[in-house]
Amino acid sequence: MAITKKQSTDLSGVPTKSKISRGGLAKQVFEYAPAPESIDHVKIQPRYGLFIGGRMVEPHSKKRFPTINPATESKLAEVVDADEVDVDHAVKAADKAFDSWARLSPSRRARYLFRISRLLQERSRELAVVETMDGGKPIKESRDVDIPLSAAHFFYYAGWADKLEWAFPNRKPRPLGVAGQVIPWNFPLLMLAWKIAPALAAGNTVVLKPAETTPLSAMVFAEICMQAELPPGVVNIVTGAGKTGSLVVSHPDVKKVAFTGSTEVGKSIQRAIAGSGKRLTLELGGKAANIVFDDAPLDQAVEGIVNGIYFNQGHVCCAGSRLLVQESIAEPLLEKLKRRLSTLRLGDPLDKNTDIGAINSRAQLEKIQGLVESGIEEGAELYQPECVLPARGFWFPPSLFTNVSQSYRIAREEIFGPVLSVLTFRTPNEAVEKANNTPYGLSAGVWTDKGSRILWMAERMRAGVVWANTFNRFDPSSPFGGYKESGFGREGGVHGLLPYLELN
């Protein structure tokens, strides 16, 4: 079955759609009316300062840079490129706030966290729109996943603030001090919540730096801290690029560093703070195997595969980017999967019917394009459904590669885009071997009808989370984190408190 094609037209000018084999089934065409989310209620300021000591302050740095909407390439706002003096102010403010925050009665700390959670819910529509405009993700995802999970995270850790003695009995849990936190652009508010909620619940104060392409939801969060009347300095937010991030993590008064992002930067941070006594957790990249056995319910598996790799345009560290399918069902599964791909709607992220939004930045688009080209050059076969890409903005169609060998770059490297590499296996042992044949170890998925096989597989997967007959499922009570080059430390659950506490 040769279903290899690119969008657009072939040489004759005839839409290549006519060349797609669809297993004899005529494609049903649905026309959706536009269903854009209203943006009238959202006020994005033309320029932002830094959130230091409980208020928005004018920076020392005179430099600002724009953050754009990757779906339109239009400028949304300008944010500060914070310099060494700015970062120092933020750390000093956090340090000053630490003593009284740590000594505050735990139930009072909980009250602030509950208040933040409540305000996140109250302002959820606004936050969803800001997240979608600044980062390019579909509104249905920011509305139904990012924002509710962020609120749930604060709600969950609020519940721990006054129960630390019970979480770690006879261990005298104590906070560490100022936490320096650096987060990526794929889940801006959610990663902020993963970092700030446990730190505050444990009695630490924080300086957080959002990613340079997605700083705006953190700016709304700064307003929420003020609305919640959080004591000044408990949360500080500085914007900037990698340089600002490195200033945050290497500041001598920062006692704990939490980083989510690329493995390369994670390693450089580890080197930079080695020997400083700072505590460190790293949540880095992944190349997860999503493994489908011949006894799996195929339609359900197809939905799980789609969710695993095309959710958030594949900008997901735990994305199921390697599909391992048992040989005997490879053909019917791929046929179903290709058909499903052709129903995904790519376009305006603010449209409530959009499945695939914009790629977060031009740089990320170029990285995806480069890796996809390497896949073709190395001999893999590319499939892309017919799909019209908008003229402006950064876009990449949902794609899958067959005929992939384990040595190809597309099977080894994190693409961080909507690109799936399909491999096959014959036996469970071979599935385990191939799944673990990666320097990463963040997540894995197993699709089978047999509970015993799920347990057998989960025991053998070198991955921080193993999903069974589902994928990309998150709950604040469930710890998340990696093995090997995917990093160390856990976020979520009771485990997520540990990196922010000193125990006897």
Catalytic residues, by residue number, are 283, 317
Distance between CA 217 and CA 239 in Å, rounded? 12
Q: Which residues contact ligand NAD by CB under 6 A?
A: 182-186, 209, 211-212, 241-242, 245-246, 249, 260-262, 265, 268-269, 283-285, 317, 364, 367, 414, 416
| Contact status: 134 vs Mn ion (CB under 5 A) | yes
Looking at the Cβ atoms of 260 and 472, the one nearer to ligand NAD is: 260
Of 132 and 290, nearer to Mn ion (C-beta) is 132
- Indicate whether 312 belongs to the interface with Mn ion (CB under 5 A): no
80 binds, among Mn ion, ligand NAD, none (CB under 5 to 8 A by kind): none
Kindly state the tokens that stand for 503: 């125990």
DSSP strand pairing (235-237 vs 443-447):
unpaired
Distance of closest approach, residue 230 Cβ to ligand NAD, in angstroms: 23
Which of ligand NAD, Mn ion, none lies near 260, with the C-beta cut-off 5 to 8 A by kind? Answer: ligand NAD
- Contact call for residue 67 and Mn ion (CB under 5 A): yes
Return the structure tokens found at 401. Answer: 């590669």
Binding at 67: pick from ligand NAD, Mn ion, none (beta carbon under 5-8 Å per type): Mn ion
The CA-based diameter of the chain, rounded to the nearest angstrom, is 76
Can residue 414 be called a binding residue for Mn ion (CB under 5 A)?
A: no
Indicate whether 386 belongs to the interface with Mn ion (CB under 5 A).
Answer: no
In angstroms, the Cα distances linking 69 to 78, 130, 135, 394 are 12, 10, 7, 10
How many residues in total does the chain contain? 504
CB of 144 to ligand NAD, least distance (A): 20
**CA distances in angstroms from 32 to 137, 158, 353, 384, 396, listed in the order given:** 19, 42, 8, 21, 21
367 binds, among Mn ion, ligand NAD, none (CB under 5 to 8 A by kind): ligand NAD
Closest of 434, 422, 413 to residue 3, by C-alpha: 422
CB of 216 or CB of 228, closer to ligand NAD: 216
Other CB atoms within 10 Å distance of the CB of residue 275 = 5
Which CB, 184 or 493, lies closer to ligand NAD? 184
Q: Which stretch binds Mn ion (CB under 5 A): 126-134, 235-243, 275-283, 394-402?
A: 126-134
The C-alpha angle 285, 185, 242, rounded to 5 degrees, equals: 85
Helices within 168-209 (DSSP H only): 188-201
* Closest separation in Å from C-beta 299 to Mn ion: 36
* Binding-site string for Mn ion from residue 162 to residue 201, where x marks contact by CB under 5 A and - marks none: ----------------------------------------
Which lies closer to ligand NAD via its Cβ, residue 85 or residue 272?
A: 272
Question: Rounded to whole angstroms, how far apart are CA atoms 306 and 340?
Answer: 8
- 364 contacts Mn ion (rule: CB under 5 A): no
Q: Which of 82, 102, 78 is nearest to 91 (CA)?
A: 82
- Subset of 195-214 contacting Mn ion (CB under 5 A): 213
Radius of gyration for the chain, computed over Cα atoms and rounded to the nearest angstrom: 23
134 vs 491, which CB is nearer to Mn ion?
134
**Is residue 109 within 8 Å of 201, Cβ to Cβ?**
yes
Question: From its phi and psi, is residue 146 left (phi > 0), alpha (psi between -120 and 50) or beta?
Answer: alpha
CB-count exposure of residue 38 (10 Å: 0-12, 13-18, 19+): exposed
Query: Between residues 54 and 240, which has the closer beta carbon with respect to ligand NAD?
Result: 240
The smaller minimum CB distance to ligand NAD, of residues 124 and 262, is found at 262
Q: Looking at this protein, which amino acid is placed at residue 313?
A: Q
Nearest-angstrom CA–CA distance, 289 and 440: 10
Cβ contact 215:55 at 8 Å:
no
Measured from the Cβ of residue 12, the count of other Cβ atoms closer than 10 Å reads: 7
CA distances from 252 to 256, 257, 363 (A): 10, 11, 32
- Give the residues lining the site for Mn ion (CB under 5 A): 67, 134, 213
